[in-house]
Every structure is written in structure tokens, then in C-alpha cells.
Structure 1
Amino acid sequence: MVRHMFPNLLLVWSLSYDLYITGGRCYTPKQNSWNNRNLSSVPEDLNARLRRLDLSNNFIRKLHTLALPYLEQLDLSSNQLDFISEGAFENLARLEHLNLSRNGLNINPGINSKALQSLSRLKSLDISMNGLSNDAVELYLRNKLSLDQLKMTGNSLTRLSHSLFRESNSLRTITIDDNLISEIATGTFEPLSRLEMLSLAKNNLVHICDFKLHQVKYLNLSWNSVEFFVTHENDMLYSLEILDLSYNKLLFFPIVPKMNHLRYLYLQNNMLGTLKSEAAMVSEANSLYDEIVSEKVAMKNNLHAIWRLMPLFYIDLSYNHFTSFPLETLSLLSSLETLDFSYNCMQSIDWNIRNYNDSGHIRQLVFRSLKSLNLQSNGLVYISPLFLNALTQIETLNLQDNSMQPCASTDKLSSPHSTVKMNPNTSCAAFGKLRTLKHLNLRENDIKTLWPNAFLRTPLVSLNLAKNQHMVMHERALEGVQTTLQSLMISEINMSGSHPSLPCMPVLTHLNISNNHLNKMPSGLGCSPLKEIDMRNNAFMTLNNSLIHTLSVHLTSMFISGNHFNCCDSGWVTVLREMKIGLPDINETECFTRVRNVTMTTYLTSPSSYCLFHKQAQEVHFVQMIVIVLFITVLSAVLIVFSRKLCCSQRSFMV
């Protein structure tokens, strides 16, 4: 048996040795990194079977023949490369990904481009930051029939010609950001049937007169000078899903393809709303469309007709110039779920819509799918109840940094037994109309009074009332939502008092009472399964041990810094540490002793040494009290005896 085994062992050893010598799969080096090595040339001792080679961030200026037949990825970015010999890439038959960004390829484009023509299998090419002109780029893109991804960010292109991608018509992704492009010739991108992603951000484009790229799914035109975006109406189905027109000079809403898959539309930081009224903006947009397409059909609202068909899910209109809310246009978006309308110029949201007849009935529009609305930093003081009625599916409402005052519950005000007195002329928001609202942000609204039942009938899960520094919070203000509220922020509201009150909230898990003047925890917290409490920057000296024991069942973290804790009355800290409750800011937390202030962590390393004097002082004080009591008792007895003797002696004298 051993005799037959020996030849088999020799065979196995021989095969293993051959695999090792020939660079078998198990021993093939897959990658090698030579980045940041201060190299001035490509190392000569590279393994011939490398698949990935990183030579980025060096000082290589010239590139000669590379004998790496298995190489698939080559990174030569951030060098000083300005010369590539014609045969440099001839032996790179498998190269698919080439990064030549941040070099000097603009110096010898004729010679360098010939070297790249031998890369017939190239799928990804990055020639960003090379100072390339229109003609130079056209040279580098010759014979790139298999190219799938192209990046040319930060060059010097001013115009895109129809012949630019003639020999690279398999492109799927093109990025030409941060150039000087002001003109795109007709037919530049249309032949690229596989093109899905096109980014032309940070250029000098002014007008998109006729968008024809039906194959593109993502189009980025941000950071240009685009004044309008118009598409000729036709029945061709466009694949467009994401359109980014942010940071431009748009005066009108874009007129997108009638048949599209548009889901995300970014219009922030434009000049929308400058024309003041919605009717003027829509009218001007339609007139512009008629002028561009030379359409003679009178009284056709092309903008609304097309927007009515958009399956839009998200739209960002922040940082524009709206003084009124474009109710009619936005209500046409039946699939819209998220709307960002923050940082505009509205003081009120009025119900200014056109009625189609003279019946006198106000037309009610509905935002059928809108779940999240951001109205932060608009200067709002009034929102029409009809607008709130239109938000039939709203779940998240952000009103931070406005001047909105919550109304009191109409039920309570109408009650004959109500003691609440409220000025009927005061503008306020009746949040009780929002029967689907879960998340409400009223931070920084200068709220004067939070009335009883202010959020009645709203299934609020989170409520932010922070930074309303003059707010008077009625003790029954949270009634109606105490059974649903999971997160409550009442920081920076000048809350003070020894016994602040909150209702029993049986599902509350996050509470922020930081930056107030509290010296005791609000009553009612014992029935809340709190996981996180933020009580920083208050006036706490100690915490109730029994309450901490109760809360520690669910508590995971507590923020406590910025208070004036008594080191020698800190048994609650021991409880928290024993229960392994996180105290993320304990290193910044101080406590005081009779001698000096110390950090809580320093005190906890040796609590007895810091509080021994305190205990001794207490004992001495107790002894002193006993001595004083005894002294007073003895003195009183002596005085009583003396007075009796004196009295007796006086009687004897008189007799």
C-alpha cells in the first residue's frame, strides 16, 4: 500500500510545484499598490500576472511599454504624466479600467491619444483634470467602442460637437462636470442608445430648448445658468427618473416630457417665485413654450397638462423666492410624497385658487399622496385651514423657524365649562385637522402659549417644541397625544420650577429637557419606558434614586453635563453605572464638594476621599448639636433650681 502511495504523493507535489512556478490561480497576485511612493517612473520589477495596479499620487511624467498582459485596472491619477509612448498599452490586452485624472494630458494629445487607441476592451476611462480642449478630448475618445463609463470633470471644454462620441457609442455613463460648456450641438448625445446617466453640472448652459434624450434616466444640470427647460410635446416614452436643475436661474417650472418616469426633481436655489403670483408664472411658462415650439393652439395650459401626468415622488423647491404657495400646480402631482419648500419668502399660505364657476363655493384641492412637507424658515404666521384640510395623508410637518401659534382645541373652547380665554382674532394653526400627522417640528416659532389639547386627534409620535423661549406651556397641553408620543423635545424653553409636570406618557422613549432651569425631574416620567434622556445644562444637584431605579429598566443613555451636581449625593450615578446605562458626556460632567469642583469621572475613581471630610463634618456637626442640647438642658435646670431657691428665700424674709 505504501509502495502505491509514494508515486501519488510525488504526483501531487509535482502538480503543486508546477502551479507555483507558473503562477497558478491560487498564487496569482491580484493587486499591487505603489501610490504615494514619490516615484518618478513605473517600477521595473512588477509581477507580470498583476490584475490591479495603483500608481496614483506620484511624480511619473513619462509612460513607456507596460508588460502586464493580465492587468485589468490601472490607476495613474495625480501624477505629472504628459507623455505616453505609442506602444505603452499594447500588451495590456485585458485592461478595462483606466484612471488618468489629474495629469498633463493636454500637452501631447496627438501622441498620447494614439497610445489609448490600442485599448479595445476599455470599459471605464477617467481623464478629468487634464486641461483638455474640445479637440483633445475628441482625439482621446477614438476607437473606444466598448467604453461604458467616461469621466471628464474639470477640463476646458466649451462646446460639445455631434462627432465627439462617434467612436464611443456604447457609453452608459458620462460625467462632464466643471467645464466651460455653453453649447451642445444637435445630435451629440442622441445616438448613444445605451446612455442612462449624464452629468453636465457646473458649466455655462443657459437654455434647454428641446430635451430629446429619451434613453437617459438621470440628468444633472445643476450649477449652470439655465433659465428655462422645455421639451416638445410628443408621444415618445422617456426613461427620465431623476432631473437635477438646482443652482440655476429658473424663473418657471420645467416643462418635462409628457410621457416620463420622473420620480425626483431638484429645483432648489433658483429664482422660482420671482414673478410673485402662481398664475403669472404658469402663464409666462406657457407663452415661452408656445414661442419655442411655434405652437399656435390658443389657451392651452401645457405646463399643467404635462405636470398632471408626472409620477413625481419627491420635489425640492427650497431656497427660491416664493411669496405664495403654488397650490394648483403642486396639487396636480398625484404621486408626490415629499415636498421641500423650506427657505422661501412666504408669510402666509392663503387659499387663493381660481373657481371655475360662479356658484360661490370655494374649490377644494387635495394633496392625495403628500406625506412629508418641509416649510422651515419661511416667516410663516398664518396657514389657511383649507390648506391643512388638503393634507389628507401628511405624516411629517416641519415648521421650524417660523412664527406659527398652535390653536387651542376647538372642542375645549366651545365647552361652556371652559376656563381658557383666547383672542379669536389671533392667527393660529389648528393642528387637530391633521388626523395622520406623526412628526411635528415647531422649534423656534416664538410660541406664546401652548393651549390645552393643542394637538388633540393627531397621532403624534414625535414633537419638537425647543427654543420657544417665552412659551407658557399649559399643564394639559399634551393631553390627547400622551398615549402616542414617543419623542419629546422641550429644550431651551426657560422651563423652571422644583416640580415641573408632564402627563403620564406610556410609550415615550426619547426626552430632551436640556438648556432649561430645572432642579428636579418632571413628575410623571415614572410610567414612561424612556431609552434616552438629555438633561444637559440645567440646575440639577442630584437625582431621585427611586426614579432612576424605575427608569433604568429601559434606559440606554443619559446626557448629564452642564449641571451642578453634589458629588457626595450621587448614589444615582452608581445606580446608572451598575445598570450599565450609557453616560456619553460623563467626561465633561462636573460635581462639587465642600473643597472644590471636580469632574465626575475623577470623583468616581475615589469617592470616599472626596466625601470623607463631608461625612466627618456631618458627624462633628451631630456631636456639636448634642453638646449644645445638653448644655442648654443643664443650664435650664440650673436656672430653674436657682430661681426656686431665690423665691423661697424671699418668702422667708417676708415672713
Structure 2
Amino acid sequence: MLGIRVLLYFGFVAVLPALCHPHTICTLIQRTAMCNSLRLSSVPSNLPQHIEELFLNQNIILKLQTGCLSGYSSLRMLSCANCFLNAVDGQVFSNSPLIENLNFADNELHKEHNQFAQSLSSLTRLRILDISGNGLTEDMVSELLQNLTSLEYLDLSRNVLLRLDEYTFRDLHQLKELNLENNVLFEIDAAFDHLKKLRRLNLAFNSLPCLVKFEMTQLVVLNASHNLIEWFITNQDITETFDLETLDLSDNRLLYFPFLPTYNRIKTLLLPNNHIGFYSHLSQNSSLNWTNSVEFYNLGGNASNVTAELWRDDLQGDISSVQLLDISVNQVRYFPQGFLQKMPHLYWLRMRSNCLESLNLTGEELPVTVYELDVSNNRLAELHADSSSISELNNLTHLNLSLNNIQKLPPRVFTTFPSLSIVDFSYNTVGLCHPTELSNSNSSACAVWTNLSTLKQLHIAGCNLNKIPPLTFNGTPLTYLDLSNNPDLHIGQGCLSGLSGTLQHLGLSNTGLQDFNFSPFKQLRFLNISKNSISVLPISLMTLNLKLLDLRDNMLSTIKPEHATVLAKQVQIVYIEGNNFNCCQLEWYRTFEKSKNLHVADHLEVTCVDLHQQRLKAGLFNSVLCGGRSTDESIFWYILLFSSVGVSMVGVSIIYFLTFRPRLLPRVIKKKCWKPTTY
């Protein structure tokens, strides 16, 4: 790798412009010099002396030598990211004492870190330092950060830090934000205890096994996602209120809901992609003989042992301020009694891909503040709702119940939410009710979608629908309707009539559609009729001003030229692959290709079938191969015709000479070819 970089360096230096040229090649904007990607091998010396910001990113500056910045005493910001930089002289900043911001990301400063540390020690005003991606170890970092007492922002991401202790950041008393993302950290031993002003800490993409005795009360944002964390335990002895507002523990190995601070201000709690569950039901089964508590030892030299009663579901700490709870892709089978009610300010509850078996859509079960509820891909078989308390959820706007096994529900359950705007009910086994044919039963195998004045988007794909009763969507001003993946669906001409004035997006993919009159839907902009049995393009499509038309995987063999002309003017994006197009009837494709308005998004995948039943790329097919069946005139046939005529005329001439003037030809040959000999 070093050899390659050296070759690159000498290759670039050979074509460098002369730096002594009186006119700089950098771009100057007020007091900022932009010298990025100019193949520079050193800092330009001919820039204005008053510049305060100098950008040298993506050059080939292997070393910053003493004196290279001597002319820029007003410099406050220097950026040398991705410059192959491996050395910085100890006195390089001696004439630039005002520097506050250094960006040396993606270099090789681990090679000469001692000199680099010496150079940093002279920057008494340095507030921002980015040395990410430099191959630094914890020992190197500890040396580099000595005496940087003014530092407020530090980026150490993408290095090779393994372990942090109390000496690593010992002098950074003003530090407010620290980024340690993408290292190899597996242990943190009191490294942050004295960072009393630290507000944002990023530990993502490391190898931390746990976070215990957490007591950073001043922290506002903690990102510990993508680690190996099995336990998050706060020091429960601290009675002070934690300032923590965002806690990201996603993509770890958490077994239990995190043990949060007794008093906190957490608004965003992100826990997706873990193994979280609630286990109080196990303690009630006496035959299992489970222990009720577990003790944690060796939590650090100054940490006392921690005892937790595992089967108690009320140990999650204070969750009263949580506004967003994402616990998707875990193993939650149920919520403990009153768990959700402990979050009176909850707006977003995301429970995708868990093991929920029942759900009660009432104000007694859910906080009345809930705005978005996602319980898709669970094990729900029946939806419960109490009509007397369901109307209390007047803030619920987004509801996702897709990918469950719901077969029964209160038929008018969706009509009682006064603010419901988006519903995804796809891939459940519930039909569409005719509003006049409902029984008095509290549960039904169909749902009512009539007179929902606030509903704008409805997804009911893959629900085994076979018909849409008349007036199904009467009084519901849908702009988005997805009926895809209902292969036995019969769509009558009048069943969607109530949506003709509002519908903008219609999904009818894989519905067995052969023909349909789309002309009443003048507002339609996105239409998906892919994976059907359409052999002739519906004429009614010519009346629409579509932005997107999806015709993939149908039975089209061609498109009439006049229809192609109309579509090329009115449609913006079209998908057409997966049809059995005739290679000898591709006039429509050439029209699409020439259009400046229409974009064929999958033009590289569009194929056609030739005379020999071979499938070829439509864009590469030559119409000459169609023979007489092609409507295009080809110059090839004219060339062949004239060649045949020319050969025939030559033959006739030869026969004429041999027959009627036999002596003329030998005389001509003799004149041209006869030569005297030496006889």
C-alpha cells in the first residue's frame, strides 16, 4: 500500500503547477481559501495573508513542515482531510496561534504522532479537532490530547481504540461533544467521569458488552447503538435528575428493558433490533422454580455489586417524558399492566416485528397522546376496541396493522378515530363491509371504510379480497389506495366511483386486471397496474396526466404508435419490463426513447421476442432482422438490389463480347498484356 501511495505521489508531483506563480489556483471567498483537490504537495505560499479559513482537502500533502503557515497569522480554521498526511512538524503552528478548528480526518497521523502531539500543544485556543480515520490507538490519543484544555468538540471515529480509562481525556475539561464511533472499544473504565460539560457522546459501532453504573447526569444525547450490549443499568442511588433526552441502544443484545435513571428527561428512546422481552409471567409459574433476582459482580474497581429483581416489570425507571419509543424487532409478547400509561406524552410508538398476540385500541390501554402506532408484523389475530373509550384517542393519525393475522375486529373501529389519516391494514384476512349489511355483532370479518372524512391513505394489499362492494369508500376522500396482491379481486366499474375526484395514487398490481376505465379519475398521478393480464393498453390511460405508470409483468406485445405518442407527452416515468413485446413492432419504444418528457426507468431491462422466439434487449435490436415484416425501410436492401443488378450487367457484357465481337477481346488483352521477349 505504501509503495502504491509513493508512486501516486511522484506521478502527481510531475504535473503540479508551479506554486510560485503570482496568481493562486485556489478559490478565494472573502477570508476563505478553497484549495481542495488541486494535486498540491504543500501549502500554497501565495495566498492573501488575511485569510482565516484554509481548505486543503483531497491533496497529496505528506507533511506539514515548519514555516508553511508562517504567512497566515490570522488563520482560525485549517482543513487537511484525506491528504495522505503522515507527519506534522512540532513548530508548524507557532505563527498561527489563533487556530480554533483543525480537520485532519482520513490521514496517517499514527506514523509520527509524537511530533503531531507537540504541534497541538501550542494551540491554546483550539476548540474543534477532527482526527478521525488516522489509525490511532488509545495510547496515541492520550498523548495527543495532553493539555488541550480548550477543546469542545473531538472526533476520534474510525480509529483503533480498544480501551479507555480515566487518563485518556483527563485534560479535556471543556469538552461538550465526543465522537468515538467505529472503533474497537470493548471496555470503558471511568473515562468520562471528569467530563462534566460533555453533552453528546457517540459510542456506536464498537464492541461494548454492557453499560452499567451509568451516572453521566449532564449528558443530553447518548448513542450506543450497534454494540454487543446486553445490559444497560443506571446508578439507581443517584437522586439527581439526568439531562438525558435521547438514548439510542438499537442493534445490540439487550435482554431486558433498560434500567433508566430514576429521574430523567428522556424524550427519544430507541431500542430496535435487540432481544427485549417482559418476563413477569415466568415468576408466576411455580413449576419452573425460577430465581427472583440476579447479582452482578466485577462492574469496575469502584462499583459496588448490583442486584436486580428480573421478573419485576416496573424496573424500567422514569419513562414519563418519553415521546418516541421504538422497540421494533424484539421479543415483546405483551406490555406489563399500566406500562404504556406511564408515558403520558407518548406520540410515536413503534412495535414492528415483535410477538404481540393481542391489542386493545382504547384510551385505557394507550396514551391518548399517541400520534403514530406501528404494530405491524406481529401475531395479532383479533383486534379489540371499546367503543366508549376508543374516541379518546383523538390524536391517532398513523396506524399500521399490516402483516398480522387479524381475522376479526369491530367493523366500525376505524370510523371512531377523529384524526385518522393513514392506515396500513395490508396482509390481514379481513374483507370490505357493505355499510348497509352489518350485523349487530361486536366483531366481524370485514371493516367499514365509509365516511372517514380525515382518511387520506389506505393500504389493503394482500387481504384476499375478491370484491369491492358498492359505496365502499363513499364519503372517504382517499388520495392513496393500494389494492395490490389481491389476485382474485373483481373490480367493478362503479366500485371506486366515490374516489374519482380525489384519488392520486392507485395500486392495482397483481389483481388479475385485464381492462378498466380510468377516465373518471382525473386527479390520478401514480398508477401501478403491474403483474396483471393486460394484453392491450386501456385507451382510458390516454386521458390521464400521470407522473408514473407501472406496466411491468403484463402480456403486452406492442403499444399502438398513436398511444405511444400520447403517453410520451403526458407521462413522466414509465416501467415496462417483463412483457412479451414483439421485436418487429417496436415503433412505440423508439417514440419513448426520443421523448424528452418521458423517462423509461427500466429501459436497460426491456426485452422483446424476435422471429426465432429468442428474447433480446429491445434497445439493441436491429429492425433489419425482421425481414419483410418490418415497416421500416432499410438501405441494406437497396445495396443488395443494386449489387445484384451490377453483377448481372457485367455478366451480360462479357457474353456480348464473346458472342458478337470475339476478336475484339483478344486484341484488347494483347494490347494491355503483350510484352516482347529475347528470342
TM-score (norm 1): 0.71
Corresponding residue SS for 1:328:
coil
- Shift in Å, 1:41: 4.4
Matches within 5 A, 1:578-597: 581-585=570-574, 596-597=585-586
Corresponding residue SS for 2:520:
helix
Is contact 2:199-2:221 (8 Å) kept? yes
Identity %: 26
The alpha-carbon distance between structure 1 residues 544 and 214, as it changes in their structure 2 partners (threshold 3 A), is same
Matches within 5 A, 1:424-443: 431-432=414-415, 434=417, 436-443=419-426
> What is the match of residue 591 of structure 2?
602
- Shift in Å, 1:368: 1.8
Give the Cα–Cα distance (whole angstroms) in 1 for the partners of residues 106 and 268 of structure 2: 32
1:149 is aligned to 2:153 = yes
CA deviations on 1:298-356 (whole Å, 9 max, x unpaired) are: 99979468335x2111111112122334563233211111111112234x2167xxxxx
> What is the match of residue 367 of structure 2?
367
> What is the match of residue 451 of structure 1?
433
> What is the match of residue 193 of structure 1?
196
> What is the match of residue 5 of structure 1?
none
1:541 is aligned to 2:542 = no
CA deviations on 1:77-103 (whole Å, 9 max, x unpaired) are: 334433322111112223222122233
Picking from 346, 349, 353, the partner of 1:343 is 353
> What is the match of residue 342 of structure 2?
332
Is contact 1:536-1:559 (8 Å) kept? no
Give the Cα–Cα distance (whole angstroms) in 2 for the partners of residues 559 and 509 of structure 1: 12
1:86 is aligned to 2:90 = yes
Q: Which residue type is aligned with residue 120 of structure 2?
A: L
Is contact 2:293-2:307 (8 Å) kept? no
The alpha-carbon distance between structure 1 residues 178 and 575, as it changes in their structure 2 partners (threshold 3 A), is closer
- Shift in Å, 1:112: 2.1
- Shift in Å, 1:587: 7.9
Give the Cα–Cα distance (whole angstroms) in 2 for the partners of residues 53 and 169 of structure 1: 28
**Structure 1 vs Structure 2 CA RMSD:** 4.5
> What is the match of residue 399 of structure 1?
401
1:502 is aligned to 2:527 = no
Is contact 2:278-2:313 (8 Å) kept? no
> What is the match of residue 383 of structure 1?
383
> What is the match of residue 317 of structure 2?
306
CA deviations on 1:437-475 (whole Å, 9 max, x unpaired) are: 321112333x3643334234654321112234x422342
- Shift in Å, 1:265: 0.6
Give the Cα–Cα distance (whole angstroms) in 2 for the partners of residues 273 and 58 of structure 1: 52
1:178 is aligned to 2:182 = yes
Give the Cα–Cα distance (whole angstroms) in 2 for the partners of residues 135 and 593 of structure 1: 69
Q: Which residue type is aligned with residue 405 of structure 1?
A: Q
Is contact 1:452-1:476 (8 Å) kept? yes
- How many residues align? The count is 544
> What is the match of residue 267 of structure 2?
263
Q: Which residue type is aligned with residue 494 of structure 1?
A: P
- Shift in Å, 1:375: 1.9
CA deviations on 1:279-298 (whole Å, 9 max, x unpaired) are: 889xx999569999879999
1:511 is aligned to 2:506 = yes
> What is the match of residue 484 of structure 1?
477
- Shift in Å, 1:150: 0.2
Matches within 5 A, 1:416-427: none
Corresponding residue SS for 1:585:
strand
Give the Cα–Cα distance (whole angstroms) in 2 for the partners of residues 164 and 593 of structure 1: 71
- Shift in Å, 1:396: 1.4
> What is the match of residue 424 of structure 1?
none
Corresponding residue SS for 2:140:
helix
> What is the match of residue 549 of structure 2?
559
The alpha-carbon distance between structure 1 residues 432 and 495, as it changes in their structure 2 partners (threshold 3 A), is same
Q: Which residues of structure 2 form unaligned runs of 5+?
A: 1-21, 298-302, 436-446, 596-628, 632-679
Decide which structure has greater helix share: 1
Is contact 2:381-2:408 (8 Å) kept? no
The alpha-carbon distance between structure 1 residues 534 and 583, as it changes in their structure 2 partners (threshold 3 A), is farther
Give the Cα–Cα distance (whole angstroms) in 1 for the partners of residues 492 and 346 of structure 2: 46
- Shift in Å, 1:210: 2.3
Give the Cα–Cα distance (whole angstroms) in 1 for the partners of residues 592 and 316 of structure 2: 71
> What is the match of residue 661 of structure 2?
none
Q: Which residues of structure 1 form unaligned runs of 5+?
A: 1-19, 352-361, 411-429, 607-612, 616-655
Corresponding residue SS for 2:139:
helix
1:62 is aligned to 2:63 = yes
Is contact 1:264-1:314 (8 Å) kept? yes
> What is the match of residue 220 of structure 1?
223
CA deviations on 1:613-636 (whole Å, 9 max, x unpaired) are: 999xxxxxxxxxxxxxxxxxxxxx
